[in-house]
Amino acid sequence: MLLNDEGGDGPVENQCAADPALFGSPTPNNSLSAFDGEDLNGTWLLQYTDAAGGDIGTLNEWCLIPELAIVQTGSISGISADFGTSR
């Protein structure tokens, strides 16, 4: 599963009733763009809750893979332009 602001599989909270419970590229509860421009160094904390009754949830593994946007500026024939790309 890839959590992505532009995800095409709907909000992550709506996937909890699906089987498998999490799949594809859902959108997060809050926009990840809030982290744009922030320093990636430091301590990251993941909090999760199994709010469903009658069973026990387990988080087996997770990882964080940030993707950095590269912004290029330049001019063509005296016209200034900004080109935003992502990798």
What are the tens digits of pLDDT across the range 17-63?
Answer: 767 777 788 888 888 888 888 888 888 888 877 777 777 777 788 88
Asked if 30 and 24 touch (Cβ cutoff 8 Å), the reply is no
In a domain, 28, yes or no: yes
Tokens of 34: 């809030």
Is position 83 within any domain? no
Q: Which domain holds residue 9?
A: 1-33
Q: What is the structure's pLDDT at 13?
A: 77
17 in a structural domain: yes
Residue 69 lies in a domain: no
The pLDDT value recorded for residue 9 is 86
- Can you give the length of the chain in residues? 87
**With 60 as the cut, is the pLDDT of residue 65 above it?**
yes
